[in-house]
Structure 1
Amino acid sequence: MFDPTIFDNLKTVIEGAVYDLDVTDELVTVVDRSDIIDLAKFTRAYALSFQLRHARKVTCTISLAMTLQHIANELLYEEISQAGCTMTVSFSFSATHVDGQAVEQMLKHIWGEQRTVIQTLTYTYPKHERYTHQVTIDFERMINESHVDDLLQMIPYIIRSLEHLQQYAK
């Protein structure tokens, strides 16, 4: 019988919450999903990407990652306090001008001043009329099943962020 890990349980919660927004509420559209098991490094990675159904300029990706050490801590009961996985929430969009400070202030207003907001801009050289702007909310801590309610409570923050970031996307 399959004994799910913390990673599997959190992945199921995230999938359920986002697919409810897609199918039941018709608020978002899931645009991509990735579930990777790397047997060479014995790691897990999961990502679910979606957009607001009525405004599809910005994509949100919720990512979970579990390393070999995380898995060992959980399954071998070595450092059970270090068992879990990491999670990030990223937003990406195309833009012609980027006001990184305004984006950071807006997201910190929604997510809280203590959150780490990482912004990455990429463009194709030598033409740089359009940028791909990726903004990541990094929680900088391990999560486990005790954070399920927190994950579900993040959904309104994600929706509000998607709505507000539309103004920067071109």
Structure 2
Amino acid sequence: MFDPTIFDNLKTVVEGAIYDLDISDELITVVDRSDVVDLAKFTRAYALSFQLRHAHEVTCTISLAMTLQHIANELLYEDVTHAGCTVTVSFSFLATDVDGDDVEQTLKHIWGEHHIILQTLTYTYGQNERYTHEVTIDFGRTINESHVDDLLHMIPYIIRSLEQLQRYAT
């Protein structure tokens, strides 16, 4: 029989909460899902992407990742304080002219000052004047089953972020 890891349990919680917003509440639409096992590096990665049902300009992706070290810490009891996985929340949208400071302040107002907010702009030369603006919130720590409530409490912050970032998308 298969013994689920912390990663598997957290993935189930995230997936259930997001699909409830899609199917039951009809607040969002899931647009992509990825569940990757890399046997060469022995890593796991899970990502679930979704948009507000009434506004498709901004996409949110919740990602969970587990490295070889995470699983070794869990299964071999090497360092149980670092057993688990990492979580990131990212938002992407097309834009023509966005002040990155405004975007950062908008998200810090929602999420708080203590989270790491990274912004990446991608532009393909000669194709058009719009670029992809990606904003990632990195929580900078390993999470485990004791953080299930934290994951569920993030959902209103994510929805509010999706709503607020719509004004920057073109």
Superposition TM-score, scaled by structure 2 size: 0.99
Q: Tell me the residue number matched to 1:135.
A: 135
How many angstroms apart in 1 are the aligned matches of 2:28 and 2:121? 25
How many angstroms apart in 2 are the aligned matches of 1:107 and 1:128? 27
Alignment partner of 2:17: what SS? helix
How many angstroms apart in 1 are the aligned matches of 2:36 and 2:127? 34
Query: What amino acid sits opposite 1:116 in the alignment?
Result: I
How many angstroms apart in 1 are the aligned matches of 2:117 and 2:162? 15
How many angstroms apart in 2 are the aligned matches of 1:78 and 1:115? 28
How many angstroms apart in 2 are the aligned matches of 1:23 and 1:32? 15
Tell me by how many angstroms 1:127 deviates: 4.3
Asked if residue 122 in structure 1 is aligned to residue 122 in structure 2, the reply is yes
Q: Tell me the residue number matched to 2:94.
A: 94
Tell me by how many angstroms 1:82 deviates: 1.0
How many angstroms apart in 2 are the aligned matches of 1:78 and 1:100? 41
Q: Tell me the residue number matched to 2:113.
A: 113
How many angstroms apart in 2 are the aligned matches of 1:22 and 1:113? 29
Tell me by how many angstroms 1:128 deviates: 5.1
Residues 14-73 of structure 1: per-residue CA shift (max 9 Å, x gap): 000000000000000000000000000000000000000001100000000000010010
Tell me by how many angstroms 1:126 deviates: 3.4
Percent of counterpart pairs with the same letter?
A: 80
Q: Tell me the residue number matched to 1:73.
A: 73
Alignment partner of 2:55: what SS? coil
Q: Show structure 2 runs of 5+ residues with no match.
A: none
How many residue pairs are counted as aligned between the two chains?
170
How many angstroms apart in 2 are the aligned matches of 1:159 and 1:74? 32
Q: Show structure 1 runs of 5+ residues with no match.
A: none
Q: Tell me the residue number matched to 1:27.
A: 27
Query: What amino acid sits opposite 1:6 in the alignment?
Result: I
Query: What amino acid sits opposite 1:49 in the alignment?
Result: S
Query: What amino acid sits opposite 2:37 in the alignment?
Result: I
Q: Tell me the residue number matched to 2:152.
A: 152
Query: What amino acid sits opposite 2:3 in the alignment?
Result: D
How many angstroms apart in 1 are the aligned matches of 2:122 and 2:30? 24
Alignment root-mean-square deviation, CA: 0.7
